[in-house]
Chain A
């Protein structure tokens, strides 16, 4: 296949809007190819989109769907010759997730939080999501075994457990959510900061985070630790954010990437002492990111209208339910985590929501290096991912931001710096934030770029970059980015003129990390006892079986060779 005459953006390979042809063979980008010709003359061409943080599968998604038949009724589309039926807006069914990502030109999405013991369910849903490649991050932040290894300062054993846990969950990386808080929530309490000890375990969140970060690098995992801060969602929490990032400054990355990825930064960039004097601290956060090089972030941009909040931060969901007078689902997960789901609505005239909206945009615009930023809505916490084109338009047009701000509560002008920000992102920066950066941050070497050998995941939009000015024509940008002219996934055309024309099964990425046998043996001895005494299922029934991943892509990692350690 040859994609002819497109204006190609491939910033990872130093291509910033050049007219060139893209050749595809056997699912990969190649130097030369024959076959089908796709006429992309003058059109915007880029790698397929990569979502590095999205909640798309597993128990909490289904909990959201069951709680919200109202939401399932939105977005109903009947089955077609190619497609199964779609339902839902904030909590779409599995099929809708695949089709909608593909229509946006996205070809990869990672589920951001899976408890090991419930990973089988996550994979059952991932298998049902058509088209896109996917993976799932594994929760470790309130896990008994993790906390005991940290308490005993036994990083060898911790590395063995993490490697085993990733294999058991068929997981891709270490996710940490409100570390320690999930355990404290087991008796209805929480941890209040990084140095607040976890009840009964004699460790602090700071120790958990640092140990997992060190182990992450010892195991040379493709992704860094992926961190949801303590105190997330609370006024004044930007100090917790910076305090936490400071803990990790001296850790050496084992690969060419960050040592910590911050999940949905927007929810942790808050100033004020309460909701009354709530204000944006995005500029302080962006300053920190501009002065350091060990951290990356995804935005967690909010979108006005309905959302469904779902997180392993169970105490936060309890607070959300009380503040919003909303229905509340909680789900504790034995020995490992807790979690919650609460429906939500972000309102333009609500002062806090208006400021939250500004914070996401400020973070993207005030952070100088786009490689440190991934565009997300923390779907569906900040709003559904189908709104990405709206965010792209906002980031590319100051005029659009001004128009929007006129419809919001006036505090958006006094409690954020957004009105004064002139920066408008260009196509290269958008491609970095939606493709190149998330792929590099996740450690997906064959994604997010169009170099020879890369996965042939390409999106082509009905936008002529040489003819439109995104600053003025932001409406056209939004429409164009909403329905890809073509989405090509693994070399196959899956979307043509915004319609799904094929729905192949994507791959599931997981990481198999090797550790010294002696560490694994020590660890398993302890773990067996946990199963005998505390878990409610048997160890032999715990691990996700191969049957649940029909199309796996296994990334090998492991403890550094000895000479490198010395």
Chain B
């Protein structure tokens, strides 16, 4: 029997599109409609890890779930300071279990936030965030600025659903009624579709933002003719474009957070937007990558007070990004075991951190094999959240949505796996 499922959520990027149509036949997903290439490739699915595995004499051997849970619990209980890392591509419910586990074993919970928008959060700690839900931008914005981000490749439906090309109540003409400005170091696909592209030198975002703040603040005459390779005249035009908008929105990406200046770039951009509100309405939003990285921050925040890099070794949450963040912990060799869930640090962390990780016992929970599997000691395959398991995820603007289960899974969910590990940890503790 063919089943048509409407309004499915796409669990790929932070857009968390919720208008996907999926055709299920005989418990298998046969067709995906309305999703982008990124989303459909995920929903259609591909090679899975078939069975739990444990590394024996250097190679992974298939085993039972019970044995894998037991082994995972042993690793966590015997570790002095384990790292529980990932969480961006699973449900909030999974992270809730993970936090409880970390509390009980004195571990560190960090999410992929630390290596994507972690600096944005530090910027928000400094300045606050003048934000909105995406629908407000769709309905009102007449100026969209993409700064150091490339939605054409990273968030393909963003422009149509939420930003430059979306139609709304006060923006009936969509793209035609809007100006789009792209600021980047390279001419991306997004830049090629913009009304205006400002190319800046790598690592000069801070200077450019500072100059714009001075112009917006009425101090243009104090600026030199050339600011980090951009003419003052051009920046004055851009500042006028911003002040002249009825509702402006800046979307920023890793171009700000991963380049020179890091959180200071974001801090400065947040200040610019705050100050623009003396002239007109302006908002700013981070383009979050993984579909539930925002949710990971939310859950960790209401549980611990802090959005990422939370260390429970002291019994109470301790947070100091740059000290308790995964890269720092790994490069200092300050953790001695790792549980990696729904992420792939082997591909996404610097070489030195991957080396450190490869040296310690690693538990991996993931539906799919990835380079982290190559050195994991316990591999536990899981159901895919949003396809085979229910749960909650938060869109990049902070809206929470419920993921549905579309087909039955042959695998336990992340929540079930973590609960089983937690049960084993408690049993081992009681035995000792």
Interface residues of A (CB under 8 A from B): 59, 61-63, 65-69, 71-73, 76-79, 84-88, 91-95, 117-118, 120-121, 124-125, 128, 186-188, 200, 318, 321, 326-335, 341-342, 533-538, 540-541, 545, 547
Known contacts: A66-B301, A187-B281, A534-B168. The answer to whether A540 contacts B400 by CB under 8 A is no
Alpha-carbon separation in the docked complex, A234 to B301 (Å):
32
Assess whether B124 is in contact with A329, with CB atoms less than 8 Å apart: yes
In order of increasing CB-CB distance, the 10 nearest A-B pairs are: A334-B135, A72-B305, A78-B315, A536-B135, A87-B305, A188-B281, A332-B132, A327-B128, A329-B128, A78-B316
**Per-residue CB proximity of B7-26 to A under 8 Å, as 1/0?**
10100000000110000000
Assess whether A536 is in contact with B161, with CB atoms less than 8 Å apart: yes
Stretch of B144-152, B178-186, B306-314, B411-419 that contacts chain A: B306-314
Look across to chain A and name the residue whose beta carbon is closest to the beta carbon of B121.
A66
* Minimum CB–CB distance for A18 against chain B, Å: 42
Task: Judge whether B114 is part of the interface by a CB distance below 8 angstroms.
Answer: no
Assess whether A121 is in contact with B7, with CB atoms less than 8 Å apart: no
Chain A binding surface SS class: mixed
Known contacts: A120-B402, A547-B402. The answer to whether A76 contacts B131 by CB under 8 A is no
Look across to chain A and name the residue whose beta carbon is closest to the beta carbon of B281.
A188
* Minimum CB–CB distance for B400 against chain A, Å: 4
Show 28 A/B contacts (Cβ-Cβ < 8 Å), sorted by A: A66-B121, A66-B301, A69-B125, A72-B305, A73-B305, A78-B316, A91-B305, A92-B305, A93-B304, A121-B298, A121-B394, A124-B92, A188-B280, A200-B170, A318-B277, A328-B130, A328-B274, A329-B131, A330-B128, A332-B283, A334-B132, A334-B136, A335-B135, A534-B139, A536-B135, A536-B399, A541-B9, A547-B402
Assess whether A69 is in contact with B306, with CB atoms less than 8 Å apart: yes
Task: Judge whether B134 is part of the interface by a CB distance below 8 angstroms.
Answer: yes
Alpha-carbon separation in the docked complex, A188 to B392 (Å):
32
Look across to chain A and name the residue whose beta carbon is closest to the beta carbon of B104.
A79
Assess whether B136 is in contact with A186, with CB atoms less than 8 Å apart: yes
Assess whether A79 is in contact with B103, with CB atoms less than 8 Å apart: yes
Look across to chain B and name the residue whose beta carbon is closest to the beta carbon of A72.
B305
Assess whether A117 is in contact with B133, with CB atoms less than 8 Å apart: yes
Task: Judge whether B261 is part of the interface by a CB distance below 8 angstroms.
Answer: no
Which residues does chain A contribute within 8 Å of B247, judged by CB atoms?
186-188
Look across to chain A and name the residue whose beta carbon is closest to the beta carbon of B308.
A66
Q: B124 is contacted by which of A67, A332, A335 (Cβ under 8 Å)?
A: A67
Alpha-carbon separation in the docked complex, A187 to B132 (Å):
12
Excluding A93-B302, A330-B131, A342-B128, 8 further A-B contacts by CB distance (< 8 Å) are A61-B302, A85-B312, A87-B305, A125-B302, A333-B132, A536-B138, A537-B135, A541-B18
Look across to chain B and name the residue whose beta carbon is closest to the beta carbon of A92.
B305
Among B134, B281, B298, B302, chain A packs the most CB atoms within 10 A around the CB of B302
Assess whether B7 is in contact with A66, with CB atoms less than 8 Å apart: no
Alpha-carbon separation in the docked complex, A86 to B19 (Å):
39
Assess whether B402 is in contact with A545, with CB atoms less than 8 Å apart: yes
Which residues does chain A contribute within 8 Å of B169, judged by CB atoms?
533-534
Known contacts: A62-B298, A533-B168. The answer to whether A67 contacts B136 by CB under 8 A is no
Known contacts: A330-B130, A334-B135. The answer to whether A62 contacts B168 by CB under 8 A is no
Alpha-carbon separation in the docked complex, A61 to B390 (Å):
25
Task: Judge whether B197 is part of the interface by a CB distance below 8 angstroms.
Answer: no
Q: B136 is contacted by which of A121, A333, A342 (Cβ under 8 Å)?
A: A333
Which residues does chain A contribute within 8 Å of B126, judged by CB atoms?
327
Assess whether B319 is in contact with A59, with CB atoms less than 8 Å apart: no
Which residues does chain B contribute within 8 Å of A78, judged by CB atoms?
314-316
Alpha-carbon separation in the docked complex, A327 to B134 (Å):
22
Assess whether B312 is in contact with A66, with CB atoms less than 8 Å apart: no
Alpha-carbon separation in the docked complex, A77 to B103 (Å):
13
Alpha-carbon separation in the docked complex, A378 to B129 (Å):
23
Task: Judge whether B426 is part of the interface by a CB distance below 8 angstroms.
Answer: no
Assess whether A188 is in contact with B277, with CB atoms less than 8 Å apart: yes
Assess whether A124 is in contact with B161, with CB atoms less than 8 Å apart: no
Q: B128 is contacted by which of A77, A86, A321, A334 (Cβ under 8 Å)?
A: A321
Look across to chain B and name the residue whose beta carbon is closest to the beta carbon of A65.
B301
Assess whether B7 is in contact with A120, with CB atoms less than 8 Å apart: no
Look across to chain B and name the residue whose beta carbon is closest to the beta carbon of A341.
B128
